[in-house]
């Protein structure tokens, strides 16, 4: 590549970074180093700032700083499970909402940028490529609330970068960075997850997830029993306890039952149950398939909410 072309490419990247940083703010909501936030598109009366839950250590006296100006912000809601929080700010603050792209447009090897604003007025930028997508991390249980998985890149997440954007080469936000989701890994919550959670926090103040009211443990299924019952799975979830007054108790599910399916979905591992419940908003009656006394039984149970 000719030197002139290389300089032109470099200038284009700088322009992309400038586009992203105009929607990146500093979030002052904890004693130690501040975190970062992104001005999120929102049609409500107040503006919305998306950030990481773990950088918001107090519910009051929250401030957002941009270009030397400080604005008071109100906590709309938080979801520790996905490490996301949303702040509300007066729309006359004049902040520019970020451009958002779906993370499914990303491919391994794509160029991405992480932007943070933990100190002073200047933004800090780190660049890299996408390392892994989608199923990365689900083996550690991260797949439960993250229907779209997580984004793993080799960008450097400096202190205070949590809550800031991961942006693509066009300057569109494809994820929100979090330093607590993976030890020594650069992980971002996909924009689809962020949009889904942010909408619930802005409208409801919390994220509703399905709840059955059972404590379970994965156990192996005897090959002969699985064959007899026509089950292809090798494991199920033994019910260790049923909470009093819950829908599971009302449905007749008992300790010692082995849960193997819910409404046609195979349930062989705890993370599969958690992922299934994460996709439920509650109130729907489903069929719980359990093994009791060596026989398959189905119980209608209404999914609760918590």
Q: Assign residue 27 the CATH number of its domain.
A: 2.40.10.120
Residues 111 and 247 in one domain: no
Q: Which residues are catalytic?
A: 54, 83, 162
Please count the structural domains in the chain.
2
- How far apart CA 149 and CA 109 sit, in angstroms, is 17
Residues 222 and 287 in one domain: yes
Residue 225: φ, ψ to 5°: -70, -45
Tokens 């449905």 identify what position? 251
Residues 105 and 26 in one domain: yes
- Residue (of 226, 234, 237, 246) closest to 274 by Cα position: 237
User: Is residue 52 a contact partner of residue 188, using CB atoms and an 8 Å limit?
Assistant: no
Q: Quick one: DSSP state of residue 296?
A: E
**Which residue among 176, 203, 230 closes a domain?**
203
- How far apart CA 11 and CA 173 sit, in angstroms, is 20
Q: Does residue 161 have a pLDDT over 70? A: yes
Residues 165 and 23 in one domain: yes
The pLDDT, as a whole number, for residue 305 is 84
Residues 114 and 188 in one domain: yes
pLDDT tens-digit profile of 18-76?
999 999 999 999 988 999 999 999 876 678 999 999 999 999 999 999 988 999 999 99
- How far apart CA 104 and CA 119 sit, in angstroms, is 32
Lowest mean pLDDT among 69-78, 134-143, 207-216: 134-143
User: Is residue 281 a contact partner of residue 262, using CB atoms and an 8 Å limit?
Assistant: no
Q: What's the CATH code of the domain at 274? A: 2.30.42.10
Q: Quick one: DSSP state of residue 19?
A: H
User: Is residue 19 a contact partner of residue 75, using CB atoms and an 8 Å limit?
Assistant: no
The pLDDT, as a whole number, for residue 142 is 45
User: Is residue 260 a contact partner of residue 290, using CB atoms and an 8 Å limit?
Assistant: yes
Q: Of all residues in the chain, what percent are helix, strand and coil, respectively (each to 5)?
A: 20, 35, 40
User: Is residue 69 a contact partner of residue 45, using CB atoms and an 8 Å limit?
Assistant: no
Tokens 């062989």 identify what position? 268
pLDDT tens-digit profile of 287-302?
999 999 999 999 999 9
Residues 192 and 223 in one domain: no
User: Is residue 196 a contact partner of residue 269, using CB atoms and an 8 Å limit?
Assistant: no
Instruction: State pTM to two decimals.
Output: 0.77
Instruction: Record the tokens describing residue 248, joined without a space.
Output: 């599971």
User: Is residue 112 a contact partner of residue 155, using CB atoms and an 8 Å limit?
Assistant: yes
The pLDDT, as a whole number, for residue 274 is 80
Tokens 């401030």 identify what position? 63
Residues 199 and 215 in one domain: no
The pLDDT, as a whole number, for residue 143 is 47
Q: Using the Cα atoms of residue 116, residue 118, residue 124 and residue 128 in order, give the sign of their dihedral.
A: negative
Tell me which residue range forms the domain holding 230.
210-305
Residues 166 and 264 in one domain: no
Residues 240 and 168 in one domain: no
Q: Does residue 271 have a pLDDT over 50? A: yes
- The mean pLDDT of 243-266, rounded to a whole number, is 94
pLDDT tens-digit profile of 72-123?
999 999 998 889 999 999 877 778 999 999 998 899 999 999 999 998 888 9
The pLDDT, as a whole number, for residue 231 is 94
**Which residue among 181, 203, 225 closes a domain?**
203
**Which residue among 182, 203, 224 closes a domain?**
203
- How far apart CA 28 and CA 7 sit, in angstroms, is 37
Residues 61 and 150 in one domain: yes
Tokens 């809550």 identify what position? 163
Residues 250 and 169 in one domain: no
Give the count of alpha carbons within 13 A of 47, CB side only: 21
- Residue (of 43, 65, 39, 67) closest to 51 by Cα position: 39
The pLDDT, as a whole number, for residue 21 is 95
- How far apart CA 36 and CA 113 sit, in angstroms, is 14
Residues 168 and 51 in one domain: yes
Radius of gyration in angstroms for the set of CA atoms belonging to the chain, rounded to a whole number? 23
| Cβ neighbours of residue 79 closer than 8 Å, sequence gap 6 or more | 53, 85, 145, 197, 200, 201, 206, 207
């Amino acid at each position: 590549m000719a030197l002139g072309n290389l300089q032109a490419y470099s200038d284009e990247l700088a322009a992309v970074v400038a586009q992203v940083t105009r929607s990146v703010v500093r979030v002052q909501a904890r004693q130690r180093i501040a975190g970062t936030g992104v001005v999120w598109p929102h049609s409500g009366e107040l503006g919305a700032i998306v950030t990481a839950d773990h950088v918001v250590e107090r519910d009051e006296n929250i401030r957002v700083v941009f270009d030397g100006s400080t604005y008071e912000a109100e906590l709309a809601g938080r979801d520790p499970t996905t490490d996301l929080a949303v702040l509300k700010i007066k729309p006359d603050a004049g902040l520019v909402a970020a451009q958002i792209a779906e993370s499914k447009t990303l491919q391994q090897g794509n160029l991405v940028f992480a932007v943070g604003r933990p100190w002073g007025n200047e933004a800090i930028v780190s660049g890299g490529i996408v390392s892994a997508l989608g199923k990365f991390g689900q083996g550690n249980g991260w797949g439960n609330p993250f229907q779209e998985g997580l984004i793993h890149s080799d960008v450097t997440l400096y202190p205070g970068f949590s809550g800031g954007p991961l942006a693509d080469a066009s300057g569109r936000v494809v994820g929100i960075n979090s330093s607590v989701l993976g030890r020594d890994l650069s992980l971002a919550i996909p924009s689809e997850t962020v949009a889904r959670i942010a909408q619930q926090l802005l409208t409801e103040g919390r994220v509703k997830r399905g709840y059955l009211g059972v404590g379970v443990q994965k156990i192996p299924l005897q090959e002969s029993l699985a064959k007899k019952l026509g089950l292809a799975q090798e494991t199920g979830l033994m019910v260790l306890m049923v909470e009093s007054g819950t829908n599971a108790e009302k449905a007749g599910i008992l300790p010692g039952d082995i849960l193997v399916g819910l409404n046609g979905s195979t349930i062989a591992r705890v993370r599969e149950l958690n992922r299934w419940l994460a996709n439920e908003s509650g109130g729907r009656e489903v069929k719980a398939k359990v093994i009791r006394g060596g026989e398959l039984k189905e119980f209608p149970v209404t999914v609760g909410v918590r």
